[in-house]
Amino acid sequence: MSPWGAWCCEPMTGEGMDGRRTYFVRGALGIALYAMLVLAPLSLMLLPPLSAARTVLLESSVALAFVAAGVIGMQFVLAVRFAPLKRPYGVDAVYYFHRQMALVALGLVLAHPLLIFLDDPERLGLLNVFSAQWPSRFAVLAALGVMGIVGASLLRRRLPVSYELWHGFHATGAVAIIALVTLHVEGSGIYATDWKISVFLVYPALALVSLGYSRIGKPLRRRGRPYRVEEVRQETPDVWTLSLRPEGHSGIEFRPGQHAWFIIGRSPFSLEEHPFSFSSSALAEHGGFDITVKELGDFTAQIGSTVVGTTVYVDGPFGAFTTDRHPAPRYAFVTGGIGITPVMSILRSAADREDRTPMTLVYGAKSLNDLAFSDELDALAERLDLAITYVLEDPPEDWDGEVGFITREIIERATGGHQGHEYFTCGPPVMTAVVEGILVEMGVDRRRIHYERFDLA
Ligand SMILES: Cc1cc2nc3c(=O)[nH]c(=O)nc-3n(C[C@H](O)[C@H](O)[C@H](O)COP(=O)(O)OP(=O)(O)OC[C@H]3O[C@@H](n4cnc5c(N)ncnc54)[C@H](O)[C@@H]3O)c2cc1C
């Protein structure tokens, strides 16, 4: 969901006012708890026993460092996929916030020593890890760690490393940083004395709980709820659908448009999990569902050779990219390439529900061969109040439809310039950003624009 379409301003569910109020209350409580935990270390400066008064620069430096400790301590909680925590906001909005708070932490971590050195330039010697005391060494290592982790995340796509290697470095680096920050604070003994020391132990404890939940609790739970691949279907030269059926349990309930994380053909404890949207109707009675995957990198390149009967473990559902959560008089979907998958789930579910809400689909693809589901979409247009505009970058000679990339003119032609639409856009990050820009330029309220980016980092 768009970070602009904030939880507080959105109709939150198709289940009526009660559901909406529940999300609102849960969301507000979550934010209050987050703010409290981030600011808890700072509040220690005001509570007895107080330290001896020092210069304003030093006190400000410690204040910034305490906020940094709170922000860093909470990053693990933001990153963990704990559905009840993420549901009020949407999983990508929480990841977006996680990324922004990492930048805030970096700024605070750099400002902390800067103020110390401004107060007394002789303290620059604290940077010498060979001669400095242990608390200063921990601080230098923690600051380098924060710089390394933020830098590697910002540059991830340009680094010659796989997503999995980056992810491993990110997680272990984060654990190391929390340990170093705790050791630095406890060792420095500034404000963190007496009973106050225990406050700083809350963050490593939260990180441990988050890690234990992700790496032990979840895998154990999903081990008892396996799925089997029932069918593998080719949709286009490089897009495949996997039909999954629950084995020994009733399956999960998802909303059309949501996604989950999948471990395919590996142990439930495997670190290799990939997010895919559900592409089938949410109303299937057998508890099974489809995912539709485009060959892209090392993992997805093999998806077409998945053997029927392969075991799959599922973590989900997640996501606020669902019409169920945003009731509206008419919907417009603007998708590019494999971004059609959650929209297929929304349209198939609408057909099963005999929903007659007016809908418009603008679906861009490279060529006719790359248009997945076009026959089924044309059939759905007959059953639903659905108008479809296909846009081909590289059309065949006899093509009389839209050509090129999705533009403002194409969207306006397709939607008839209506302002009452709730817009859903999904696809590669560049495409969703461009479409969001176009919609804002058209005067669409940001709260009516929802997007799913097929890339969280
Ligand atoms: C919410 C969401 C829903 C998605 N739904 C679909 C879908 O329905 N169909 C589809 O084909 N694709 C979908 N994707 C994209 C899909 O997850 C990636 O294409 C796939 O994980 C790439 O893996 P790879 O190893 O083949 O490619 P790589 O070359 O390793 O990765 C390509 C890019 O995909 C992302 N990626 C890779 N591995 C992961 C991971 N484990 N977790 C998160 N991101 C990762 C990274 O940004 C990476 O740069 C979705 C992504 C998200 C975030």
User: Residues 407-417: pLDDT tens digits?
Assistant: 999 999 999 87
Q: Which helix (H) or strand (E) element contains residue 421?
A: strand 421-427
Question: Which pLDDT does position 17 carry in this prediction?
Answer: 53
Q: Is the pLDDT of residue 7 over 50?
A: no
Using CA atoms, how far apart are residues 196 and 188, in angstroms rounded to an integer? Answer: 13
Using CA atoms, how far apart are residues 348 and 77, in angstroms rounded to an integer? Answer: 35
Which residue's CA is minimally distant from atom 21 of ligand 1? 274
Pair 383, 351: CB distance under 8 Å = yes
% of the chain exceeding 70 in pLDDT: 95
Using CA atoms, how far apart are residues 400 and 305, in angstroms rounded to an integer? Answer: 36
Q: Could you report the per-residue pLDDT of 112-139, keeping only the tens digit for each?
A: 999 999 999 989 988 888 888 899 999 9
Question: Which pLDDT does position 2 carry in this prediction?
Answer: 42
Query: Measured from the CA of 455, which atom of ligand 1 is nearest?
Result: 53
Mutational test site, ligand 1, from 159, 163, 346, max ligand atoms within 8 Å of CB: 163
Q: Which helix (H) or strand (E) element contains residue 65?
A: helix 56-79
Q: Is the pLDDT of residue 144 over 90?
A: yes
- 378 Cα to the center of ligand 1, angstroms: 28
Which residue's CA is minimally distant from atom 29 of ligand 1? 297
- 341 Cα to the center of ligand 1, angstroms: 13
pLDDT band at 81 (very low <50, low <70, confident <90, very high): confident
pTM: 0.87
Q: Does residue 454 have its Cβ closer than 6 Å to ligand 1?
A: yes
Which residue's CA is minimally distant from atom 5 of ligand 1? 276
Pair 341, 292: CB distance under 8 Å = yes
Question: Which pLDDT does position 19 carry in this prediction?
Answer: 63
Q: Does residue 259 have its Cβ closer than 6 Å to ligand 1?
A: yes
pLDDT band at 277 (very low <50, low <70, confident <90, very high): very high
What mean pLDDT is predicted for residues 217-241?
A: 96
Average pLDDT over all residues of the chain: 90
Using CA atoms, how far apart are residues 273 and 232, in angstroms rounded to an integer? Answer: 19
Q: Does residue 166 have its Cβ closer than 6 Å to ligand 1?
A: no
Query: Measured from the CA of 341, which atom of ligand 1 is nearest?
Result: 8
Pair 1, 450: CB distance under 8 Å = yes
Question: Which pLDDT does position 18 carry in this prediction?
Answer: 58
Q: Does residue 338 have its Cβ closer than 6 Å to ligand 1?
A: yes
Angle in degrees, CA 387, 392, 396, rounded to 5: 115
Query: Measured from the CA of 318, which atom of ligand 1 is nearest?
Result: 1
- 165 Cα to the center of ligand 1, angstroms: 14
Query: Measured from the CA of 452, which atom of ligand 1 is nearest?
Result: 1
pLDDT band at 82 (very low <50, low <70, confident <90, very high): confident
pLDDT band at 25 (very low <50, low <70, confident <90, very high): confident
For 331-351, give one letter per residue: b (16+ CB within 10 A) or e: bbbbbbbbbbbbbbbbbbbbb
pLDDT band at 287 (very low <50, low <70, confident <90, very high): confident
Pair 61, 111: CB distance under 8 Å = yes
pLDDT band at 262 (very low <50, low <70, confident <90, very high): very high
Pair 163, 152: CB distance under 8 Å = no
Judge if the upstream peptide bond of residue 256 is cis by omega within 30 degrees of 0.
no
Of the candidates 336, 329, 338, 392, the one whose C-alpha atom is nearest the C-alpha of residue 361 is 336
Q: Does residue 213 have its Cβ closer than 6 Å to ligand 1?
A: no
Question: Which pLDDT does position 1 carry in this prediction?
Answer: 44
Which residue's CA is minimally distant from atom 28 of ligand 1? 297
Q: Does residue 294 have its Cβ closer than 6 Å to ligand 1?
A: yes
Q: Could you report the per-residue pLDDT of 333-390, keeping only the tens digit for each?
A: 999 999 999 999 999 999 999 999 999 999 999 999 999 999 999 999 999 999 999 9
Question: Which pLDDT does position 380 carry in this prediction?
Answer: 97
Of the candidates 388, 320, 323, the one whose C-alpha atom is nearest the C-alpha of residue 355 is 323
- 297 Cα to the center of ligand 1, angstroms: 8
Q: Does residue 234 have its Cβ closer than 6 Å to ligand 1?
A: no
Query: Measured from the CA of 156, which atom of ligand 1 is nearest?
Result: 49
Looking up tokens 């059926």 gives 245
Question: Which pLDDT does position 11 carry in this prediction?
Answer: 33
Which two structure tokens, joined as six digits, stand for 154?
A: 């910002």
Q: Does residue 162 have its Cβ closer than 6 Å to ligand 1?
A: yes
Using CA atoms, how far apart are residues 143 and 109, in angstroms rounded to an integer? Answer: 6
Which residue's CA is minimally distant from atom 13 of ligand 1? 276
Which residue's CA is minimally distant from atom 35 of ligand 1? 455
Which residue's CA is minimally distant from atom 17 of ligand 1? 275
Of the candidates 142, 145, 203, 140, the one whose C-alpha atom is nearest the C-alpha of residue 169 is 145
Q: Does residue 269 have its Cβ closer than 6 Å to ligand 1?
A: no
pLDDT band at 398 (very low <50, low <70, confident <90, very high): very high
Question: Which pLDDT does position 5 carry in this prediction?
Answer: 38
Domains along the chain? Answer: 17-221 (1.20.120), 225-318 (2.40.30.10), 323-453 (3.40.50.80)
Q: Is the pLDDT of residue 6 over 50?
A: no
Q: Could you report the per-residue pLDDT of 51-64, keeping only the tens digit for each?
A: 777 888 988 998 99
Strand ranges, E, within 279-338: 289-294, 311-318, 330-336
Which two structure tokens, joined as six digits, stand for 50?
A: 């107080």
Question: Which pLDDT does position 279 carry in this prediction?
Answer: 98
Q: Does residue 298 have its Cβ closer than 6 Å to ligand 1?
A: yes
Question: Which pLDDT does position 457 carry in this prediction?
Answer: 61
Residue 307 or residue 42, greater confidence = 307
Q: Is the pLDDT of residue 224 over 90?
A: yes
Query: Measured from the CA of 273, which atom of ligand 1 is nearest?
Result: 41
Using CA atoms, how far apart are residues 432 and 429, in angstroms rounded to an integer? Answer: 5
Which residue's CA is minimally distant from atom 50 of ligand 1? 454
% of the chain exceeding 90 in pLDDT: 68
Q: Is 389 strand, coil or helix?
A: strand
